[in-house]
Amino acid sequence: MSAASPVRHFLDIHQYDTATLRAILDRALTLKHAKDHPQPYRGKTLALIFEKPSTRTRVSFEVGMRQLGGEVITLTGKEIQLGHGETIADTGRVLSRFVDIIMLRTNDEAKVHELAEAATVPVINGLTDVSHPCQIMADILTFEEHRGPIQGKTVCWTGDANNVCQSWIHAAVRFDFELRIACPQELEPSAKTMAWVAAEGGRVHVTRDPDAAAAGAHAMVTDTWVSMHNKDAERRHALLKPYQINERLMGLASSDAIFMHCLPAHRGEEVSAAVMDGPQSVIWDEAENRMHAQKGILNWCLTP
């Protein structure tokens, strides 16, 4: 994002410096623990656009904005066909006349960027097939609540290097921690992403060996093997079966390692029920922190 930009969009973690990201998380923590919900956004409206459905994203943004005093309007793919009949840019220009901030959850990363370029109000990336920045801001908040500063720590990701993993990669560089990714070759991060990591001096390592990735890690993280846009479920299950986080793999991590998952999860697939429901799992705190992290993002975007 250009420093000269009059609008503060929140599009991808790697676009912002560490100080900015830290300020967002600090504000999120302050808002989370405020005895009375401060309501600075009375009279302001957040538009939520969902081309992909979501329980957590919708509820966390709606409740969060209302706690901040604002109003919310929610539009689904059935109600608004972004880029069909009206250009995305024109939709952004029109919505900017009605609302104060926009969140878009979609498949296509290009739609978020086109919307942000045309809108005269902030745009938040609620998820694309390429990244999921709001989720990982919540994950960093969750880790630090349980284990202190994440800088210098080790996080292990197992499974598909998908959009959630992509934002973990961005976070590893910006928050200065080591990220080990255990995944099959067919589902590893792109060469472009790893070239960016190298150029930034990040500590992101890709391996086929989940045991090596898990050894001594302070957090174990995974995601569902089959997302809404995947058409090859049987093949993906076969590829990813060796990467399940189970009691044995958790036992290789640090004794105080935590388990995280952005949800929804499938017990017995990417994670065993014993780990997901066990004492090292912080998934429900993680889910709650989506709301608090996003309140920090909303606050940053709406602060002149």
Q: What one-character-per-residue DSSP string does 182-242 give?
A: E--GGGSPPHHHHHHHHHHT--EEEES-HHHHHTT-SEEEE--SS-TT---HHHHHHHHGG
Supply φ then ψ for residue 266, to 5 degrees.
-125, 100
Q: Judge whether residue 80 has pLDDT over 80.
A: no
Lowest-confidence region among 32-41, 150-159, 161-170, 229-238: 229-238
pLDDT at res. 228: 58
Query: Is 197 within 8 Å of 181 (Cβ atoms)?
Result: no
Residue 81: band (very low, low, confident or very high) from pLDDT cuts 50, 70, 90: low
Selected residue with higher pLDDT from 304 and 122: 122
pLDDT at res. 23: 98
Supply φ then ψ for residue 71, to 5 degrees.
-110, 160
- The packing angle between helices 18-33 and 163-175, to 10°, is 100
pLDDT at res. 79: 74
In percent, the amount of the chain with pLDDT more than 70 equals: 96
Residues 224-253, mean pLDDT to the nearest whole number = 90
Q: Judge whether residue 286 has pLDDT over 70.
A: yes
Would you state the torsion angle of the CA atoms of residues 93, 121, 70, 34, taken in this order, to the nearest 10 degrees? Answer: 160
Is 205 exposed, middle or buried (CB count within 10 Å of its CB: 0-12, 13-18, 19+)? Answer: middle
Q: Judge whether residue 3 has pLDDT over 50.
A: no
Quote the mean pLDDT of the chain: 94
- 3-state class (DSSP) for residue 143: helix
Here the tokens at position 233 are: 């479920």
In percent, the amount of the chain with pLDDT more than 90 equals: 88
Q: Which residue has the tokens 């993993």?
A: 165
Residue 83: band (very low, low, confident or very high) from pLDDT cuts 50, 70, 90: low
Residue 4: band (very low, low, confident or very high) from pLDDT cuts 50, 70, 90: very low
pLDDT tens-digit profile of 100-129? 999 999 999 999 999 999 999 999 999 999
pLDDT at res. 124: 98
Query: Is 101 within 8 Å of 79 (Cβ atoms)?
Result: no
Q: Which residue has the tokens 């560089």?
A: 173
Task: List active site positions.
Answer: 105, 132, 135, 223, 262, 290
Query: Is 266 within 8 Å of 225 (Cβ atoms)?
Result: yes
Is 151 exposed, middle or buried (CB count within 10 Å of its CB: 0-12, 13-18, 19+)? Answer: exposed
CA–CA distance, 45 with 49 (Å, rounded to integer): 13
Q: Which residues pair with 85 in a beta bridge?
A: none
Task: Give the CB-side neighbour count of residue 121, counting CA atoms within 13 A.
Answer: 20
Residue 65: band (very low, low, confident or very high) from pLDDT cuts 50, 70, 90: very high
Listed as own residue / partner, the contacts of 18-25 with beta carbons closer than 8 Å and 24 or more positions apart are: 18/174, 18/175, 18/176, 20/300, 21/137, 21/174, 21/175, 23/300, 24/137, 24/293, 24/296, 24/297, 24/299, 24/300, 25/137, 25/140, 25/141, 25/144, 25/293, 25/296
Residue 233: band (very low, low, confident or very high) from pLDDT cuts 50, 70, 90: confident
